[in-house]
A and B are shown apart, each in its own frame.
Chain A
Amino acid sequence: MGEQIVKTNCCHGCSNTNETELLERISELAKEYRGKEGALIQVLHMAQVIFGYLPIEVQRVIADALDIPVSQVSGVVSFYSFFSTQPRGEHTIRVCMGTACYVRGGKKIVERLKEILDIDIGDTTKDRKFTFEVARCIGACGLAPAMSIDDVVYKQVDPDKLENILARYYQEGEKAV
């Protein structure tokens, strides 16, 4: 709820495009879909790729461009879990809570990650490094308990080794810079 005043980078981590330019890009793109029925979800997808997440400012820009009420945009954004109104981290951690992973200790991974990251499920770390989510089943039941970070699946995760796994992403980040 409320306005996000935080300066944001786009989801690819490039920091040199400023917010106004991104909003303009989203607006231009959305305008092409004006009057087309059922276009809202597609526009929201594209906007989330461009902006990284869908705060109220982005929702307003889309509402204006499509000429629909912002309450309708917000209704769709808040309905689908894929859309986020909070800034996303550079990497998304998904801990599997499907039946197999659950019985083999998925919950312990979740609890440990909460401690390490100091955030709740669905939130993003203060440094915008990680967004922390749970998944219903990632289709890796034979590897339970499993989790994924972006596209990489980690098998038979030991809660005590989580810190080591996460540390790699910080090193990578430094290299990338």
Chain B
Amino acid sequence: MINLTINGIPVQAEEGTTILEAARANNIHIPNLCYMKGIHEQGVCRICVVEIEGNRNLQASCITKVREGMNIKTNSAKVQKVRKMLYELLVSNHPEDCLQCERNQSCELQELGQTLGVRERRLYGKRTEIEADISPSITRDPSKCILCRRCVTVCNEIQDVGAINVQNRGFDTIVSPATELPLNSTACAMCGQCTVVCPTGALTETDGIAKVQRALADPNKHVIVQTAPAVRAALGECFGLPVGTPVTGKMVTALRMLGFDDVFDTNFAADLTILEEGTEFLNRVTDALNGGKAVLPMITSCSPGWIKHIEHSYHTELDHLSTCKSPHMMLGALTKSFYAKKINKDPKDIFTVSIMPCTAKKYEIQRPEMNVDGYPDVDAVLTTRELGKMIKSYGIDFVNLPDSDFDAPLGLSTGAADIFGVTGGVMEAALRTVYELVTGRELPFDNLRITPLKGLDQIKTASILIEDTLPEYKHLEGVTVNVAVTSGLQGSNILMDEVKAGKSPYHFIEVMGCPGGCISGGGQPRTDCEDFRVKRTNALYSEDERKVLRKSHENPDLAKLYEDYLGEIGGEISHHLLHTVYTRRGLYNELVE
């Protein structure tokens, strides 16, 4: 332990601790802006400077380690003066449009000004003339960027995509793709992790609210909404509820109050995905065992950020992807076909909205192949954050709303669908069904939870031995199925390098584009809670566990859908509506044609 003094108080800290963390452990908060614990500790913004006795200059406390006998002042007159000046310089070229800004009242830069007590603007610098870059998912406004580089770290070191980096130098410095190309012309996966960490309005999701409001106001439109599993685990945070509070019932009530004609659940389609994808997997394994050309490992296709990433970075390996559309696209396709027919509406009068924890879904819906006979599967995507905003703007007192249930016939789901929002969840849901289909017995794990696939490790693996099969699956007797799960695109790169080299030991791989899965997707509320991933995960696990039906194939409405409309699993109608194709893009979009 190291002994030091902070603001006159003797404290102890582990060797290797930064001054900022040592202070925090002793209830002293040092203002900071670019700091992200364990992720971005570069001392870029300098706001966290402190005075250290014996040092001539102030030091950035986020990168300075504690030393024996240090005497630190975090709030001396000198520190306060310098910190204020640093802040004034940071905002000297910032547009003064807080009132109109997307991040008004949720902006870290704004909040910092308040904390530091900056009450006047003395400095005016030249502002950038570069205009905002609006991609289908992400809007980049360099004029609001303070060059803190959090997004660069997340894109390069956490996601290992590297779509953006710091360009030019001096006053011309901007964060942007190479040669200032628009994001949509790059290998950006549209995962939106940059929008989660941006402290200002420089990186945000591209607005979807206006389009949804227009549809809601149109008397000729039948407006359908569906919600992804992870939304219910985080939406409450927009209204001050503790991180990890599931708000499924309140969310459904709020959506009805917003004026949606039907409130469906993407979870229903998650169950549907399991049947389609599970069957596809069994078919591939059977074919491979019979010496066929089936491509293994099969890789999940629910995460559109991951899909865009593989199309750019591993475009020769697209045959490994399951051909299943992502669940909300499946549900969208059903609203424009099965459901349109059922309620006797022309699909052109149906407007389907998806509430997603994801920014990449906004890109996904405008892919040309995602349509039913010319009608887009889904017409608009709102992120969890956008839904929160919309609910607030309609004056709905969310916290005090009563619960209500999703609408039939596309609203009922099993517990297997809830965990689609968590890393490992899709794999677990698939194995719950596949194992039982093949052996007639429940998956042999306590409480159906495949423990090795739980948690936030980058790559998780499990092996499931198939024994005592049902007669029709005799050929699978004694087969060990190796599965791997990863979340975050860096992990996907590791697994894909093996796949590309022909050395992957796995049969089935689950990839979610964001670290931890959809619960920490690019469209989720921003939070300063350190273990938010664990808390949101537990929220979804509790949703799963409180349900009586916890295996996708037990969903009675799903059985009815196959009986009434789809016919057989993986059949012709399924293929038309629920499966898709992928595009070889290449790192520089050079293969698109």
Whether B179 lies near A56 (C-beta < 8 A) is yes
Q: Are the CB atoms of A78 and B169 closer together than 8 Å?
A: yes
- Picked from A60, A64, A71, the residue with its CB within 8 Å of the CB of B177 is A71
Task: Please name all residues of chain B whose beta carbon is closer than 8 Å to the beta carbon of A60 when the two chains form the complex.
Answer: 587-588
A1 touches B178 (CB 8 A): no
Tell me, yes or no, whether A22 is within 8 Å of chain B by CB. no
The answer to whether B162 and A68 have CB atoms under 8 Å apart is: yes
> Across the interface, do A71 and B168 meet the contact criterion of CB distance under 8 Å?
no
Which one, A2, A56, A64, A75, contacts B165 given CB within 8 A? Answer: A75
Contact of A74 among B156, B161, B169, B179 (CB under 8 A): B179
Which residue of chain A is the closest to B161 with respect to CB atoms?
A69
| B179 lies within 8 A of A1 (CB) | yes
A64 with B178: in contact, given A69-B156, A78-B169 (CB under 8 Å)?
no
Task: Name the distance in Å between A121's Cβ and chain B's nearest Cβ.
Answer: 15
Q: Does A124 touch B at the CB level, under 8 Å? A: no
Q: Are A70 and B588 closer than 8 Å at their CB atoms?
A: yes
The residue from B163, B166, B168 contacting A69, defined by CB atoms under 8 A apart = B163
A63 to B588, CA, bound (A): 11
A156 at the interface (CB under 8 A from B): no
* Interface contact A56-B178, CB-CB below 8 Å: yes
Q: Tell whether A74 pairs with B165 under 8 Å between CB atoms, given A1-B180, A59-B178.
A: yes
A interface residues, how many (CB within 8 angstroms): 19
Q: Does B6 contact A (CB under 8 A)?
A: no
Contacts of B177 in A (CB 8 A): 71, 74
Residue contact A79 to B588, C-beta cutoff 8 Å: no
| Residues of A contacting B164 in the complex (Cβ-Cβ under 8 angstroms) | 71
In the complex, how many angstroms separate the beta carbon of B112 from the nearest chain A beta carbon?
27
A125 CB-CB contact with B under 8 Å = no
How many angstroms between the C-alpha atoms of A72 and B157 in the bound complex?
12
The answer for the CA separation of A68 and B162 in the assembled complex, in Å, is: 8
Q: Give the docked Cα–Cα distance between A71 and B162 (Å).
A: 7
Chain B residues near A63 (CB-CB < 8 A):
587
On chain B, the number of residues with a Cβ less than 8 Å from chain A's Cβ atoms is: 19
A71 touches B587 (CB 8 A): no
Determine if A73 is an interface residue (Cβ-Cβ < 8 Å): yes
- B residues less than 8 Å from A56 (CB atoms): 178-179
Q: Does A92 contact B (CB under 8 A)?
A: no
Residues of A within 8 A of B166 (CB): 75, 79
Is A85 part of the contact surface with B, judged by Cβ < 8 Å? yes
CB within 8 Å of A: which B160-216 residues: 161-169, 176-180, 186-187
82-138 of chain A: CB within 8 A of chain B: 85
| CB proximity of B84 to chain A, nearest CB, Å | 30
Inter-chain contacts of B168 with A (CB < 8 A): 78-79
A130 → chain B, closest Cβ, in Å?
A: 24
Please state if B165 and A72 are interface contacts (CB–CB under 8 Å): yes
Q: Would B167 and A75 count as touching, CB distance under 8 A?
A: yes
If the complex has contacts A1-B180, A56-B178, are A72 and B167 also in contact, measured as CB distance less than 8 A? no
Q: Is the CB of B167 within 8 A of A78?
A: yes
A63 to B178, CA, bound (A): 11
Instruction: Report the bound CA distance from A77 to B229 in whole Å.
Output: 44
Q: How far is the CA of A60 from the CA of B162 in the complex (A)?
A: 13
Whether B180 pairs with A72 at a CB distance below 8 angstroms is no
Question: In the docked arrangement, what's the CA distance between A111 and B109, Å?
Answer: 43
A residues contacting B by CB (< 8 A) are 1-2, 56, 59-60, 63-64, 68-75, 78-80, 85
23 examples of A-B residue contacts, CB within 8 angstroms: A59-B179, A60-B588, A69-B161, A69-B163, A69-B178, A70-B178, A71-B167, A71-B177, A71-B186, A72-B156, A73-B178, A74-B165, A74-B167, A74-B178, A75-B165, A75-B166, A75-B178, A78-B167, A78-B168, A78-B169, A79-B167, A79-B169, A80-B169
| A1-B180, A71-B176, A72-B162 known, 16 other contacts, Cβ within 8 Å | A1-B179, A56-B179, A59-B178, A60-B587, A69-B165, A69-B178, A70-B162, A70-B178, A70-B587, A70-B588, A71-B162, A71-B167, A71-B177, A71-B178, A75-B165, A75-B166
